[in-house]
A and B are shown apart, each in its own frame.
Chain A
Amino acid sequence: MHELSIAMGIVDAAMDEARQRGVQVSAVHLRLGALSGVVKDALMFSYEVACQDTPLAGSRLIVEDVPVTVFCPRCQDTRVLQSVQSFLCPQCATPTMDIRQGKELEVFALEVQE
């Protein structure tokens, strides 16, 4: 379970931005790739713990799940995988490891109040 240290990283990043902008954060928007190695439920729980006794206490974590997108060498196009258990092009079943998206672990927006 490394989600608590990840959650603390998220809180630190959000606090840092909030300080620089002189704002209060009410929600943190996170992009979470299916291949990030982070379990969403554990992260949601850890976030609350990580926020305690910080200016972010009571804020929400809003997670946008990012599926794995691969480039299919046969179709010559990007395709979204249905599952991380099968790295086959969903159109033509060609195996591919050319991963274009799905490893994200990134805060991309904050809901703030002045």
Chain B
Amino acid sequence: MSEPRLVEIRRNILKQNDIIARALRDQFRGAGVFVVSLVSSPGSGKTTFLEKTLTLLKPKYRVAALVGDLATENDAVRLARSQTPVRQITTGTLCHLEAAMVQNALQGWNVNELDFLFIENVGNLVCPSSYDLGENLRVVLMSVTEGEDKPLKYPTIFNSADVAVITKNELSQAVEFDWEAARRSIESVRPGMQIFRLSAKTGEGMQDYLQFLAQQLEDHRSILPQ
């Protein structure tokens, strides 16, 4: 056998995911639907937050959701209470969603008939950061019970997201949540990131977030190819 030699190649390991994500983004742009993905750690209140969002948007917009979960369909059942179309993506042992799973889950759905599509990722602050899902906006959610330094512990996911939502604000006094410290943590890993502080339970602060989404939808459609 000859001496070992080095050959240069260039292979992006996530290229396949990126190709599908790009195709999805093109599809969403063509359909005029604004796609929002949600990432957070388990137990941050993603499902409650999404349920509230769907319920409040529904009178005015056509909304739907895809929810990723490891094993159960509980989230989809809960979200169905909002009377909006919901599909579950059961990931089995996989700790994150990939673009191909979103593509498969959308089969038979006419996204042209939607204003907003929400994608709830599996509760995990590490793995989802590597995978583009073709979304227009990635929202990272943390609750006041998690500690102000969460962004410093998981900088990559905060860095990959577009806006941050801090929820369960109704508990902030009880847990002595230091809002300024949380804001500094986020600013450190993602300078300029917009932050929404709200309570999905009481509805406090939801209006600002919904207005922001409405504006995003309007901007998204105003740059559509004519």
Contact = CB atoms under 8 A, between A and B. Distances in A.
Interface string B1-34: 1111111111111100000000000000000000
A86 B188 CA distance: 5
Contacts of B106: none
Interface of B: 1-14, 94-96, 126-127, 129-130, 152, 155-157, 159-160, 187-192
Contacts of A75: none
A112 B8 contact: no
Given A9-B13, A9-B14, A87 B190 contact: yes
B31 to A, nearest CB: 28
A109 interface: yes
Given A86-B188, A110-B6, A17 B11 contact: yes
B193 to A, nearest CB: 9
Given A84-B159, A85-B155, A113 B4 contact: yes
Interface of A: 1-2, 5-6, 9-10, 13, 17, 21, 23-24, 26-27, 29, 35-39, 84-88, 95-97, 105-114
Contacts of B187: 95
A84 B153 CA distance: 10
Q: When A and B form their complex, which 3 residue pairs have the shortest distance between CB atoms, in order from nearest?
A: A95-B191, A37-B130, A37-B129
Contacts of B9: 17, 107-110
Nearest to A87: B191
A105 B126 contact: no
A21 B2 CA distance: 15
A46 to B, nearest CB: 12
User: What secondary structure prevails in chain A residues at the interface with B?
Assistant: mixed
A110 B7 contact: yes
B156 to A, nearest CB: 5
Name, among A27, A85, A114, the residue most crowded by chain B CB atoms within 10 Å (CB to CB).
A85
Nearest to A112: B7
User: What secondary structure prevails in chain B residues at the interface with A?
Assistant: mixed
A97 B160 CA distance: 11
A70 to B, nearest CB: 10
A84 B189 contact: yes
A21 B22 CA distance: 30
Contact of B156 (A5, A84, A96, A108): A84
Given A85-B155, A95-B191, A95-B192, A112 B13 contact: no
B13 A106 contact: yes
Contacts of A9: 13-14
Contacts of A108: 8-10
A107 B13 contact: yes
Nearest to A13: B11
B156 A87 contact: no
14 contacts: A1-B95, A21-B7, A26-B4, A38-B130, A85-B188, A87-B189, A87-B190, A88-B188, A97-B191, A97-B192, A107-B11, A109-B9, A110-B6, A111-B5
Given A105-B130, A110-B6, 8 more contacts: A1-B95, A2-B96, A2-B126, A84-B159, A85-B189, A88-B191, A108-B8, A111-B6
